[in-house]
Every structure is written in structure tokens, then in C-alpha cells.
């Protein structure tokens, strides 16, 4: 991370040989999952793209046009967080290239207070890009709220129970049980939202006999 020297030691702990990505992608596929990876330098994109189903660009690097261009050239879906962006116009020059995008609203605070989430901005996102939310709130309700606000993609963090609490992402990461609740809340929200077509719902049929008719 070029502008985050305080994080260097933590990133060193997460380094691994490039060949490991093949095993990780295979393992993910075995569980019906796609494999993605965050990339921070343009020179690394091609190496990662050989294994990743999608490329993630963090809020800190969203202003790096060389990195975004390299990611788009891979043909992979590119997921971009927009924390610390004053406006979506910050990344419009690259978005206009019409490649597959997911653009995530984000509050780059660790953890992010509810007052900083500003979820209403999700529905003002960009098309044809998928709009979503990169969540650092560590609130099990926030993902569902984001879906209600129009998010189609949700990103959040989770940790294993023996994770090192000195890890920079520890404070914003869910335990497995919390993450399960987080996902259930999202699924319940999707069920409650329905398809948006106003009509008599099946659950109302029993009450129709009491309805006053003109």
C-alpha cells in the first residue's frame, strides 16, 4: 500500500506464493463459490486475473487509473469501493468504458458509525454498473438495510474465532455466527421487498371477504 505505511507489517503477514491462488480458486469452486482477490498495483493485475473470477479495487486505490485500466482489460468483473470519494464522478472516466462493473458505496472508517453509512446514496449509483455496499459497520443489520436501499452486491469482513485481535480488520470483522445472522437478515429483507408489483398478495386472500366494495 503506497500511502499506508502503517499497514505494511499486516500485509506482509498475508503474502503468499502466486501458485496458491490456483488451490484457493479450486477450493472455492468446490463449495459453489467464485474466487476474487483485491489488487493494489497495476503490475499485479495480470498475475491475479489468471486465477480470479473477479478483481477488487479498494477505496484507497480507486483514483489509480492505471490500476483500474489494467483490471478492466482482464475481462473479469471489477468490483470497486468508493469510500472517501466526494462523488461517483471520481471514477466516471473509467466507468464510461462500458466494462463489467460493480460499484460499492463505502464509508472508510474502521468501524464505521451508523451516522456515516449514508445508505441512501446507493440508489443514486451508476448504471449499467451493479450498485452495492462495502460494509465496515460490524452491525448485523447493515447489510439488510443496504439491500433495502438498492444494493445488489454486499461486501463485508469475517474472521475466524482464533484471529489475531491486532489485525487491522479485526474490529470490523464478523465471527462466523454473526456473519450467518448477517446473511439471514439480508435474505429476510429480500423476501420482504418482493418484486415491487402492487397486487393482492396471497396472504391477503382470507381477508378479501371483509373488503368494502363500491
Digit-coded pLDDT (tens) for 123-147: 766 776 788 999 999 999 999 999 9
pLDDT above 70: residue 172: yes
Of the two residues 108 and 12, the one the predictor is more confident about is: 108
Return the DSSP state at 113: P
Provide mean pLDDT across the span 39-60: 93
Of residues 123 and 160, which shows the higher confidence score?
160
pLDDT of residue 177: 96
Q: Which three cell numbers stand for residue 114?
A: 451508523
- List CB contacts of 188: < 8 A, sequence separation 6 or more: 144
Per-residue confidence (pLDDT) for residue 32, from 0 to 100: 97
Q: Where are the beta strands (DSSP E) in 48-197?
A: 54-57, 77-81, 101-106, 130-134, 153-155, 157-158, 173-174
Percent of the chain past pLDDT 90, that is, above it, reads 62
How many other C-beta atoms can be found within 10 angstroms of the C-beta atom of residue 21?
17
Query: What confidence score (pLDDT) does residue 46 get?
Result: 93
Asked whether residue 1 carries a pLDDT value surpassing 60, the answer given is no
Q: Model confidence over 4-22: pLDDT tens digits?
A: 787 788 778 778 888 899 9
Report the alpha-carbon distance of residue 181 to residue 178 in Å, rounded.
5
Own/partner pairs, 9-14, CB within 8 angstroms, 24+ separation: 10/167, 10/168
Distance CA 95, CA 103 (A): 9
Burial status of residue 78 (CB atoms within 10 A of its CB: 0-12, 13-18, 19 or more): buried
Query: How many other CB atoms sit within 10 Å of the CB of residue 112?
Result: 21
Confidence (pLDDT) at 72: 87
CA angle 62, 132, 197 (to 5 degrees): 150
pLDDT band at 94 (very low <50, low <70, confident <90, very high): low
- The alpha carbon torsion through 139, 157, 152, 132 (nearest 10 deg) reads 90
pTM greater than the 0.85 cutoff = yes
pLDDT of 9 reads 81
Asked if the model's pLDDT at residue 47 lies above 70, the reply is: yes
Amino acid at each position: 500500500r503506497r500511502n499506508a505505511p502503517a499497514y505494511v507489517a499486516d500485509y506482509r503477514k498475508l503474502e503468499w506464493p502466486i501458485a496458491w491462488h490456483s488451490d484457493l480458486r479450486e477450493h472455492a469452486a468446490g463449495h459453489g463459490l467464485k474466487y476474487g482477490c483485491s489488487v493494489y498495483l497495476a503490475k499485479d493485475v495480470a498475475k491475479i486475473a489468471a486465477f480470479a473470477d473477479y478483481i477488487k479495487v479498494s477505496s484507497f486505490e480507486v483514483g489509480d487509473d492505471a490500476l483500474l485500466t489494467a483490471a478492466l482489460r482482464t475481462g473479469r468483473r471489477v468490483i470497486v469501493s468508493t469510500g472517501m470519494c466526494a462523488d461517483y464522478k471520481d471514477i466516471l472516466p473509467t466507468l464510461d468504458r462500458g466494462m463489467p462493473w460493480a460499484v460499492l458505496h463505502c464509508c472508510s472508517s474502521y468501524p464505521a458509525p451508523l451516522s456515516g453509512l449514508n445508505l441512501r446514496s446507493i440508489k443514486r449509483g451508476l448504471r449499467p454498473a451493479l450498485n452495492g455496499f462495502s460494509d465496515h459497520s460490524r452491525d448485523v443489520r447493515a447489510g439488510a438495510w443496504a439491500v433495502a436501499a438498492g444494493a445488489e452486491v454486499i461486501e463485508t469482513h469475517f474472521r475466524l474465532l482464533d484471529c489475531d485481535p491486532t489485525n487491522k480488520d479485526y474490529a470490523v470483522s464478523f465471527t462466523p455466527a454473526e456473519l450467518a445472522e448477517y446473511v439471514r437478515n439480508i435474505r429476510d429483507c429480500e423476501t420482504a421487498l418482493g418484486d415491487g408489483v402492487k397486487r393482492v398478495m396471497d396472504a391477503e386472500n382470507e381477508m378479501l371477504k371483509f373488503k368494502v366494495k363500491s
